[in-house]
Chains A and B, each alone.
Chain A
Amino acid sequence: MKGSQAIIKSLTDEGVDVVFGYPGGVLLPLYDVIYDSDLKHILVRHEQCAAHAADGYARASGKVGVCIGTSGPGATNLVTGIATAYMDSAPVVALAGQVGTSLIGNDAFQEVDTIGITMPISKHSYQAMDPSEIPQMIRSSFYIARTGRPGPVVVDLPKDVQEGELDYPENITIDLPGYKPTKKGHPLQVKKAAELILKSKKPVILAGGGVIHSESSEELQHISELIGAPVTTSLMGKGCFPEDHPLSLGMLGMHGRVASNMLVDECDCLIAVGCRFSDRTTGDVNKFAPNAEIIHIDVDPAEIGKNVDVTVPIVGDAKIILSHLLRILSQAKGRVSNANWTKHVKTFRASCIPRLSFDETPLKPQQVIKEISEAVTDDTIVTTDVGQNQMWMAHYFTSRNPRKFISSGGLGTMGFGFPAAMGAKVAMPDDDVVAVCGDGGFLMVCQDLATVKEYDIPVVVCVLDNRYLGMVAQWQKLFYDERISQTKLKAMPDFVKLAESFGVNAHRVERPGEMKETLREALDSGEPALIDVMIDPNEILPMVPPGCGLTEIVGEYQVERENPGEITYRPSAKETGGD
C-alpha cells in the first residue's frame, strides 16, 4: 500500500476515529486517502485550533488526540498547541507534512525544520524517511504519547514518503530500549511514606494532574478520608477530588484559595501526588510548606527534587502507589488519628469560603461563575481560556469530577479554551461543554466559530467581556502603579453579531440572574452558542505576588458571610453505589 494509506491504517488501528487538521500541498497524498476513508476529519480554521482541539479531546477522554498540519506554516501554527500539551502532559500525536526528502535542507517552498523546532516542546519526535517506517513510527508515537508521563509526539511526513509503497507488516512490536516508564513504586519508599503519614499530626494532600492521568481519584479520596487529611490541588489537579467535599480546600497557589495556602503553610506532612510544584502553585519555594516533610509521588523521576526538596520520593504510577499506600494505612487504622487537625481544617475552611453572591451591575465575575455552576451538571465539561477568566473559574467554580475542568496551566496559552472545548465535545458528545474565555483570548481563535457551526459541535462559549486584557491589567494595577499600558481593548467586535455572522446563536448577559438561565437554554438547545457576558472591568482576584510566600496574599479577600456553616457535600452516585 501507499505511505498515506499506511498512515490512515495505523491511525485506525490505534482506535482513532477523528482527527483535527488543515490541508496543504505536501499533504495532498494524505488528504486524498482521507477523502474515502472512514476517519472523521474536522477541518479547523487555524492549525493552532487543531492542536488545542486534539489536546481538549485528549484531556476530556484520556485517549490520544490527533492533529494534522501541513509543512512550514502549518507546522509552525501547530507549535503553540504542541507546547501547551507538553507543559500539561496531554497525550497528543501531531502529524506534520514535510517537503519531499530530496528537497529537505534546501529551503524549499514551505520547508521548515519541524523536528528541530518541536524537539524541546514534545515528548518525542519522528521523521519518516522511508514509507516502510510509517507503521512502526505511528504505533510508537501513540505508545509514547499515552504511557508514563503523557505528552505530545510529533511525526514529520515528507510528501514522497506518503506517496511511496510499502508492505504493511502483520505484527508491529514496540522496540524502545531507552523508554521504560516505572509503574510500581519502590515498596520500601511506599513503606517509608506510610510511616511518615502515620507519624504526622497535620497532613495535607496536594493533588495534581497526575491523579487525573492515572485515574486515581478514588484511591486519593479513600486515603484523604482515612487519615483525615484535607486535599488541595494544583490547577491541573482541579476536579480530581470533589470540591464540595468537607476535606476539599480548593486550588493552591498564586490565585489559590486562602484555606489551601494557609493550611499548606501549617501542615507537618505534605503528600504531593502527580504534581510538579510549578512556581504558580508554590509561590516562593523557600517559604513553601515550611513545617512539612514532603512525600512526592510522580511517574516522572525528573520532577522529583526539581523544584522542591522532598523527604520521601516515590517514582511510579499514582494509582498503583496510592493503592499500595492505602493497603498499608488501612492495616494501621488504629494508629491514624488526626481528629483535632481534621476538625481545625473544617472550621478554618468554613471561615474563608469566598463570597460568590453579588447583585450589582456591571456584573461581578464571582456572580457569573456562581450562575455557571448552578446551570451545569456534574458531567458538564468546562474549559477555560487564560487570564482572569481562568483564575476566577479555578477559584470559584466547584468541580466534582476528574476530566471535567480543562485549562492551559503550564504554558498559559490564550486562545486555548474555545478550541479545547470543541475537542472535548467531539470526544464526549453526551456531556455538555462550556468554554469560559476572556474577550482578548477568544478573539485570538474566534474564526473557529465556523468549525463548530459546520460540524455542528454544540459547545457554548461564554465570553467574559471586560474590554481589557484583564489579567495583565490586574498586574499593572497592583504592581505598576495603575499604568494600564496596552491592555485596554478599545476597538472590539460586537461578539453577538460576530457569532451571528458565523451562523452561531448568540446572547448577551448583563444582569445578575440572567447567566444561569441563558446558559441552561443554550446548552439545552443542542446547538453551538456564544454568550457575551458584560462584566465589571475593575474586579480583580486577590493574589500572591510573584516571589512571595503563599500566605502573603494581597487584595481584598471577600468571604461568604451569609452562609458560613458546613458545606453540603453530595456524594456522587458512584460513591454511594447507587445507579
Chain B
Amino acid sequence: MDEQRSHIISALVMHRPGVLQRVSGLFTRRGFNIDSITVGPSEQDGLARMTIISRGDDKILEQIIKQLNKIIEVIKVRDLDPEGTVVRELCLIKTHATSESARSEILQYANIFRGRIVDVGPENLTLEITGTPDKIDALIDLLRAYGIKEIARTGPTAISRGSKTI
C-alpha cells in the first residue's frame, strides 16, 4: 500500500491556454511529484491529451486523480496500467564524432536501436530515437563514451493497448 511506484496518468483536457499551468500548478501546490508531463492535441477537436508520469503510493495516486478531476477543464483522467500501455518517448542526441571509427560505431548503434541520424556535421552527429524511456537511457549510456554535447527528450507519452480508450 505504501509502496512508491511510478504511475502513467493520461488526462483528456480542454485545449486552452492556462490548462497546463492549472495542472502543473496543482502538482506543485499539493506537493505531488511530477517526473514529466507532455501534452498535445488529441483525436477530438478542442481537446488535448496529457501524459503525466508521477511517483507516489496508492493514496497519493488517488489524490492526484481526484484533484485533477476537480479542474473544470479536465474531462477524463486514467491511471494507465503499465502492462497494458504503450509508452514512447522521442529523444534527440547530439554527440561529438570526429574520427571515422567513432562515426561508424555510432551509426551502428543507431541501427541497432532503430534510431536515425538526422544531422551530420564535421565534428558531430545528431541521432533521433523513439522508444521506451529505458531504451533511450541505454542508448545514451552507450554514447557517453563519444562525448554527448546535447540531449533533448520529450518525456514519455502513452496510450493504452488494444481497443480500450479513455
Where the two chains meet, the residues of A that have a C-beta atom closer than 8 Å to any C-beta of B are: 115-116, 119-120, 123-124, 127, 144, 176-179, 300-302, 305-306
Contact = CB atoms under 8 A, between A and B. Distances in A.
28 contacts: A115-B18, A116-B21, A119-B21, A119-B22, A119-B25, A120-B25, A120-B26, A120-B29, A123-B72, A124-B72, A144-B72, A176-B72, A177-B14, A177-B75, A178-B13, A178-B14, A178-B71, A178-B72, A178-B74, A178-B75, A179-B72, A301-B66, A301-B69, A302-B66, A302-B69, A302-B70, A305-B59, A305-B63
Interface string B54-72: 0000010011001101111
A301 B14 CA distance: 21
Nearest to A178: B75
A179 B75 CA distance: 8
B72 A306 contact: no
Nearest to A144: B72
B70 A300 contact: yes
B162 to A, nearest CB: 25
Contacts of B69: 301-302
A178 B73 contact: yes
Given A178-B73, A302-B63, A305-B62, 15 more contacts: A119-B22, A120-B29, A123-B72, A124-B72, A127-B18, A144-B72, A176-B72, A177-B75, A178-B14, A178-B71, A178-B75, A179-B72, A301-B66, A302-B67, A302-B69
Contacts of A127: 18
A441 B132 CA distance: 57
Among the interface residues A116, A119, A123, A176, which one has the most CB atoms of the partner chain B within 10 A?
A: A119
Interface residues of B, number: 20
Nearest to B46: A177
A290 B69 CA distance: 31
Interface string B1-40: 0000000000001100010011001100100000000000
A503 B77 CA distance: 57
- For the complex of A and B, 5 pairs with smallest distance between CB atoms: A302-B66, A178-B75, A124-B72, A179-B72, A120-B29
A179 B70 CA distance: 8
Contacts of A123: 72
A127 to B, nearest CB: 8
Contacts of A302: 63, 66-67, 69-70
Contacts of A124: 72
A178 B26 CA distance: 16
Nearest to B66: A302
A544 B22 CA distance: 37
Contacts of A179: 72
Contacts of B62: 305
A178 B68 CA distance: 10
A305 B65 CA distance: 13
A176 B29 CA distance: 24
Contacts of B63: 302, 305-306
Contacts of B73: 178
B104 to A, nearest CB: 50
B22 to A, nearest CB: 6
Contacts of B75: 177-178
B34 to A, nearest CB: 16
Nearest to A127: B18
Contacts of A144: 72
B122 to A, nearest CB: 42
Contacts of A178: 13-14, 71-75
A305 B59 CA distance: 8
B1 to A, nearest CB: 10
A62 B5 CA distance: 43
A106 to B, nearest CB: 17
Interface string B67-98: 10111111100000000000000000000000
A410 to B, nearest CB: 15
Nearest to B73: A178
A526 to B, nearest CB: 43
Contacts of B21: 116, 119
A483 to B, nearest CB: 32
B33 to A, nearest CB: 17
B69 to A, nearest CB: 7
Nearest to B18: A115
Nearest to B75: A178
Nearest to B12: A178
Nearest to A305: B62
A144 B71 CA distance: 11
Contacts of B14: 177-178
Among the interface residues A120, A179, A302, which one has the most CB atoms of the partner chain B within 10 A?
A: A302
Interface string B88-123: 000000000000000000000000000000000000
A186 B66 CA distance: 17
B6 to A, nearest CB: 21
B16 to A, nearest CB: 11
Contacts of A120: 25-26, 29
B8 to A, nearest CB: 20
Contacts of B22: 119
B28 to A, nearest CB: 9
A378 to B, nearest CB: 36
A465 to B, nearest CB: 38
Nearest to B29: A120
Contacts of B18: 115, 119, 127
Contacts of B13: 178
Among the interface residues B13, B71, B72, B73, which one has the most CB atoms of the partner chain A within 10 A?
A: B72
Contacts of B26: 120
A238 to B, nearest CB: 26
A451 B58 CA distance: 51
Contacts of A177: 14, 75
A306 B73 CA distance: 22
